[in-house]
Amino acid sequence: MIYSLLINILIVLLCPGMRYNVTIQETLAKTVQVEAVSMHDAKMAVSQLYRDSNIILSAEDYIDTEITVDYNRSYYKSPTGDFTLIQGDCVETLSKFKFGFDMVFADPPYFLSGGGISCQSGKVVCVDKGEWDKPTTPEEMDAFNLRWLSSVRDHMKENATIWISGTHHNIFSVQQQLLKLGFKILNVITWAKTNPPPNISCRYFTYSTEFIIWARKSQKVAHYFNYDLMKQLNEDKQMTDVWRLPAIAQWEKSCGKHPTQKPLGVLARLIQASSEPGAWILDPFSGSATTGIAANLLGRRYLGLEIEDEFLAMSKARRKEIENHQVRTDYLERLVKAKIILPPDNVFVADSSEYMYGVPWLL
Ligand SMILES: C[S@@+](CC[C@H](N)C(=O)[O-])C[C@H]1O[C@@H](n2cnc3c(N)ncnc32)[C@H](O)[C@@H]1O
């Protein structure tokens, strides 16, 4: 002890003093709540609040103001409360609340945006969808699918079912994780597109299918299946697991384009098959909220989780669009024509506000 003290004194006596530049970083933390449609707008609104209240911070008590936005807040809620969007990563968002959904539809990343090309409306286009869809390793894909499926499962009622769409890129990984988590696979639907884009390389068969796994949460608890309605919609023959339905049509893109938007027809069919009017439906990868639009057209309630500002804005516009009676009617008529929903029982009177379409959920 005495020895080390002597050494220290010697160092101080022998070495001249050194000058050090020390950076002190102070952060002023303050939480405020603002209403905004995007994270960028929220930051702008907060900056404006600072300017308006004339807050002047001197260098002594302020160095840096960090504005962070807690974006796990509701992004949009419809006036009737049957359509809610929350911005943020689905697993993180789900970890913040408890709720039991009746049905889930998930269209997760297929991990196929590796710079490939395809043909759309006669033009050669790149098939890349976005950063969220970039290819990954098989191990990472399994981990990703296990993580979100596990947190979604915790938010399903015991008799609830889940539908997950995919192609060969991701669907086998999804199936493996479902089994690990104790789901019971009920069907694997093959959606055979009646109008697939041509294969421009001419080195493969034309890709014309997607798969949709239908599974229930529990091995033992029975699920809901509207067998009779499906049969009725299929000219009174049992509906098979091959669905011949068209790819997305132009009329479904009235509020903008999402690179992997699903057709309303596919969603309307599976929602009717597996849920009753009034049911709560979750979509953890909401995109342009096709699931929510189909759910609301069919009298179900919806929660969509999505990261991207652009797609949330598009979803909100789509939801507002169907508040217009004429648009709503037009969409329902298209679904009737495509034999996705039953025709109305009563006579259609286009300009009457009394018009109910003959189904109670349109009241
Ligand atoms: C295949 S798209 C869904 C398209 C949707 N079915 C539709 O009809 O518009 C997947 C969506 O999930 C979003 N996404 C990706 N990772 C996410 C995550 N971890 N949490 C929430 N959304 C995510 C992407 O931004 C993308 O819009």
pLDDT at 62: 42
What is the pLDDT confidence band of residue 41, given thresholds at 50, 70 and 90? confident
* Residue positions counted in the chain: 363
For the stretch 322-352, pLDDT in tens is: 999 999 999 999 999 999 999 875 333 333 3
Give the residue, 347 or 230, on which the prediction is more confident: 230
Q: What number does the ligand 1 atom closest to the CA of 283 have?
A: 6
Atom number of ligand 1 nearest to Cα 89: 20
Tell me the pTM. Answer: 0.77
- Indicate the burial class of 284 (C-beta count within 10 angstroms; 0-12, 13-18, 19 or more): buried
Q: Which residues pair with 199 in a beta bridge?
A: none
Residue 298, burial from CB neighbour count under 10 angstroms (0-12, 13-18, 19+): buried
Report the separation in Å between the CA atom of 307 and the middle of ligand 1, taken as the mean of its atom positions.
7
Helix, strand, coil fractions of the chain, as percent rounded to 5: 35, 20, 50
Distance 333 CA to ligand 1 centre (A): 28
How far apart are the CA of 322 and the centre of ligand 1, in A? Answer: 22
Ligand 1 center to 23 CA (angstroms):
42
Whether the predicted pLDDT of 119 surpasses 70: no
Residue 135's pLDDT band (boundaries 50, 70, 90)?
Answer: confident
The per-residue DSSP string of 115-165 comes to S-EEEETTEEEE----GGG----HHHHHHHHHHHHHHHHTTEEEEEEEEEE
CA of 288 to the centre of ligand 1 (A): 8
Helices and strands per DSSP (H, E), number in the chain: 10, 13
Q: Ligand 1 pocket check: which of 307, 316, 319 to mutate, most ligand atoms within 8 Å of Cβ?
A: 307
Of the chain, the percentage scoring pLDDT greater than 70 comes to 74
From ligand 1's centre to the CA of 134, what distance in Å?
A: 13
Q: Hey, whose CA ends up nearest to atom 13 of ligand 1?
A: 285
Question: Measuring from atom 16 of ligand 1, which residue has the nearest CA?
Answer: 132
The preferred substitution site among 75, 132, 144 for testing ligand 1, maximizing ligand atoms within 8 Å of CB, is 132
* Main-chain phi, psi angles of 210, to 5 degrees: -130, 160
Q: What would the two tokens of residue 227 be?
A: 């067998």
pLDDT tens per residue across span 247-272 = 999 999 999 999 999 999 999 999 99
Instruction: Report the alpha-carbon distance of residue 312 to residue 85 in Å, rounded.
Output: 7
* Residues framing ligand 1 (Cβ under 6 A): 89-90, 107, 109, 132, 258, 260-262, 285, 287-288, 290, 305-308, 311
Give pLDDT, residue 217: 98
Q: Could you identify the atom of ligand 1 that is nearest to the CA of residue 133? A: 15
Beta strands in the chain (DSSP E): 27-28, 64-65, 74-77, 83-87, 101-106, 117-120, 123-126, 156-166, 184-193, 209-216, 242-245, 280-283, 301-306
Please check whether residue 295 is in contact with residue 321, taking contact to mean a CB–CB distance below 8 angstroms.
no
Ligand 1 atom closest to the CA of 311, numbered from 1: 27
348 or 108: whose pLDDT is higher? 108
pLDDT interval class at 74 (50, 70, 90)? confident
Instruction: Render pLDDT for 1-31 as a digit per residue (tens, 0 to 9).
Output: 555 556 655 555 555 677 777 766 555 555 6
Domains of the chain: 19-70 (no CATH), 74-362 (3.40.50.150)
Can you give the pLDDT at residue 161? 98
Average pLDDT, the chain: 83
Q: Are 234 and 258 in contact (CB under 8 A)?
A: no
**351 CA to middle of ligand 1, Å?**
37
